[in-house]
Structure 1
Amino acid sequence: MFGFFKKKESKAVVSEEEPLTEEQKLVLQQQITEKQAQLAEADLAMEVQAKLHEELGLIYAELNDEQAITELEKSLELKLTMGDGYKKLMSLYNQKRAEAARNGDDAGIEKYMNKMDDMRQIAKKLMISREN
């Protein structure tokens, strides 16, 4: 009658992102080169470095490049934020955890669960600092 006891249908969520064209990949590679050149400049403030690493990480993520995680982690090492880089890194960790689960890789599952826990601690730390 009300559907309380009905079995919920599971809906598979399938990402149907269009693959990048060669032209789009070329533009992203050019952006990477520009960001890396900016990072090579001397005397950049830590906040600027963090932002550049975040931008690099997001570009690498668009390219499905493993370097995305490295760049996003560098960004958070330099400056803790909960911006787009934080969200993307959490998503990438979750993808890696799911991949490890599919492969039966218990060590990989634990590694990425711990990394996700670390991310939650960052969020908690930032929320506490905002309250004060």
Structure 2
Amino acid sequence: MFGFLKKKKTETKAEPIAELTAEEKEELQEQAERFSITIKELEAIDPKQVAELAKTYEQLGLVKAQLGQMDEAIGSLEQSLDYKLTIGDGYKKLMSLYNAKRAEAARNGDDAGIDKYMGKMDDMRQIAKKVTITG
């Protein structure tokens, strides 16, 4: 009857991922290698440098995500949160990656994958609560 009372349908489209040039990929690969070396050095010298290790793992994960290496990115970002709980860029990217993995599992009809990544996203929300309360 009254069109202005109806909810408008909004389309949600995935944000297009910009293609990287060969030079950009090479630079990101070099950054990832430097972060990996820094992590090894920190762990060998003093694995108790928690904040620095967390930051370096986060940076490595963000670079891996830019390179499209999603599983490696997830591993690095999870490792970062193992060292130190934060809700910064790494947290946001990890939540985004989990959501992408959940969506992929849904497209493939993989109920176990959906449950796995929904559980991981729930864990992330708990981290946000914990950091917010104690922060």
Name the TM-score, length of structure 2 as normaliser: 0.90
Task: Classify the secondary structure of the residue corresponding to 2:4.
Answer: coil
Please report how far the alpha carbon of residue 12 of structure 1 lies from its aligned counterpart in structure 2 after TM superposition.
Answer: 4.0
Report the more deviating stretch, 106-115 or 13-22. 13-22
Gaps of 5+ in 2: none
Aligned to 2:75: 70
Aligned to 1:88: 93
> CA 1:126–1:12 in 2, change beyond 3 Å: closer, same or farther?
closer
Please report how far the alpha carbon of residue 8 of structure 1 lies from its aligned counterpart in structure 2 after TM superposition.
Answer: 2.2
For residues 80-104 of structure 1, the C-alpha deviation after alignment (integer angstroms, 9 at most, x for no partner) is 0001000000000000001101111
Aligned to 2:23: 23
Gaps of 5+ in 1: none
Aligned to 1:3: 4
Aligned to 2:46: 43
Report the AA paired with residue 124 of structure 2.
M
Report the AA paired with residue 43 of structure 1.
D
Aligned to 1:122: 127
For residues 4-24 of structure 1, the C-alpha deviation after alignment (integer angstroms, 9 at most, x for no partner) is 03x523324242232111111
Q: How many residues align?
A: 129
The whole-number CA distance in structure 2 between the counterparts of 1:49 and 1:77 is: 10
Report the AA paired with residue 107 of structure 1.
A
The whole-number CA distance in structure 2 between the counterparts of 1:118 and 1:18 is: 30
* RMSD value, Cα: 1.4
Name the TM-score, length of structure 1 as normaliser: 0.92
Name the structure where helix makes up a greater proportion of residues: 2
